[in-house]
Amino acid sequence: MVVLGVAFLLIGVFFAFMGVLGNLRLPDVFTRLHATSKVSSIGILGLVLASAFLVPASAPKAIALGLLVLFSAPVASQAIARSGYRDGCAIIGLEQNDIGVLYIDFPYDYTLGDPVPWEDEPPPAPDLPVPAPLAPGED
Amino acid sequence: MALQCSHLDTIQRVRPSAQGCEDCLRIGSGWTHLRICLACGHVGCCDDSPHRHAQAHFDEVSHPLVQTFEYGESWLWCYADELMLQPRQGTS
């Protein structure tokens, strides 16, 4: 039991340390969140499991706490990341934004089979050069 | 990281060139979904279709913006900026 407890303790401390290191080293909000969410999920989970093994009387509470942390930490990180993205936080090294959408005032929705409102209007006149006005006495 | 499209001024009031993929109809092929060019009204087929005529139209004449030509859909795609555009009222 003690060996298992110490093993989980070391795992938790390792992930907590790596999360803090990542928070210091990584360049933007999203990668830092990726690192710190490891602290609040795997790191905490390791520590509560360690407490369950090292202090058996606390096991039910520790396991319940671990489960709650396991489910809530990723949701919290995702919510923070989403608000950061919507707020325009920079994504370092991004080459193509596959989820970016630009919202504009739509001119018109074309639909297969539907006539467009300007169907009967004559086509616009081509851009022809405007002749210069004649000078007096030139005609 | 602000998204922007520098081709919105190319949008014209166009008439669909056909009620189907213009080039597929010419060669007797089928398509998956349709896109309409917002600069000239060329109706082409999407990138999931065998011949990808909408993309081919952009490669040929460099009209960057297409709109979905499908019922119940409402979005634009800019080939030049590789950017999706949607109606502003959909932001909530």
Among residues 12-41 of chain B, which lie with CB inside 8 Å of chain A? 13-16, 19-20, 34, 36, 38
What per-residue confidence (pLDDT) applies to A130?
66
What would the pLDDT profile of A62-96 be if each residue is shown by its tens digit? 999 999 998 999 999 999 999 998 887 888 888 77
The ipTM assigned to this model is 0.86
CB contact under 8 A, B1 and A94: yes
Is the separation of the CB atoms in A44 and A52 below 8 Å? Answer: no
B1, B36, B84 ranked by CB distance to A110: nearest: B36
Whether A138 shows a pLDDT value over 70: the answer reads: no
Starting at the earlier edge strand, list the strands of the sheet with B83-87.
Answer: A101-104, B83-87, B76-78, B65-68, B34-37, B43-45
B5, B76, B82 ranked by CB distance to A96: nearest: B82
Q: How far is B70 from chain A (nearest CA, A)?
A: 5
Closest CA to B77 of B35, B27, B25, B33: B35
